[in-house]
Amino acid sequence: MSATLFTASLSIKRAVALINEMDLNRFPLLLSRILQKLHLKEERTFSEEEEEKLQAAFGYTSNDLDLVLETLEFILQQAAYHTAKPAVLGEQLKQLEMNEDKVQKIVEAWTNGARNLVQKLKERTVHPNQLEEVKWRLNLQMAQASQSKVKRPNALFQLGVRSDSTGKKDNIRLEFTHEELYDFYNQLETIQKQLDSLS
């Protein structure tokens, strides 16, 4: 039995709904570009100007476009990681309720680009940063200049990350509202399920 490549999280379901609405003529060009750039860790698939054009072409907000691009990249990364057979990839995309025409285009793109992508990913230099510590605290804003009674909770994180190449430790600070933290938690849940499926 083949490994499950995807978990039907809320974000993947939302992305699939958006993908199902995409113009079928432009869709293969999008996939082709993603396949060309997927092995380049530090490089964005599309420039900001290109993303603005894509938003206009597909009628997406910036967030919707980001979600679609990230999901398509994730689908192709998973296919590469598992060296998925085209039929298996197609079947699992259908289980996510992706339209048949989009499934077919992704499978075609994967069939044509798989060997090249997998080879490039194998050659890619692994240069990970290691997470060494996580510090956090909760804040509750009770007032601001324009309003006397405000309850605005947020979570502050500080991630201590050490670079393998330099040995230097950097602190990355993140601030989340309740909604942002909940979305982040859901993404972590999806990652955890994917890791669990590999072990």
pLDDT band for position 41 (cuts 50, 70, 90): low
Q: Please say whether the beta carbons of 39 and 124 come within 8 A.
A: yes
Whether the full predicted model's pTM is greater than 0.75, yes or no, is no
pLDDT(142) > 60: yes
Name the 3-class secondary structure at 45: coil
Say which range, 64-73, 80-89, 140-149, 154-163, has the weakest mean pLDDT: 140-149
Q: Please say whether the beta carbons of 131 and 160 come within 8 A.
A: yes
**Pairing relationship of beta strands 169-177 and 152-163 according to DSSP bridges:** antiparallel
Residue bearing the bigger pLDDT, 197 or 126 = 197
Say which range, 39-48, 72-81, 130-139, has the weakest mean pLDDT: 39-48
Residue bearing the bigger pLDDT, 194 or 87 = 87
Q: How far, in Å, are 85, 109, 176, 194 from residue 199 at the CA level? A: 20, 28, 31, 9
* Own/partner long-range contacts of 99-108 (Cβ < 8 Å, ≥24 apart): 99/19, 99/20, 101/24, 102/19, 102/20, 102/22, 102/24, 102/27, 105/24, 105/27, 105/28, 105/31, 106/31, 106/72, 106/75, 106/76, 108/28
Alpha-carbon dihedral 146, 147, 152, 154, rounded to 10 degrees = 30
Q: Where are the domains of the chain?
A: 10-123, 129-198
Rounded CA separation 157/136 (Å): 4
Q: Please say whether the beta carbons of 57 and 26 come within 8 A.
A: yes
Nearest C-alpha neighbor of 135 from the set 119, 115, 157: 157
pLDDT of residue 147: 60
Handedness of CA 34, 39, 44, 49 (dihedral sign): negative
Q: Please say whether the beta carbons of 165 and 127 come within 8 A.
A: yes
Average pLDDT, the chain: 85
Distance between start and end Cα atoms, the chain: 15
pLDDT of residue 1: 43
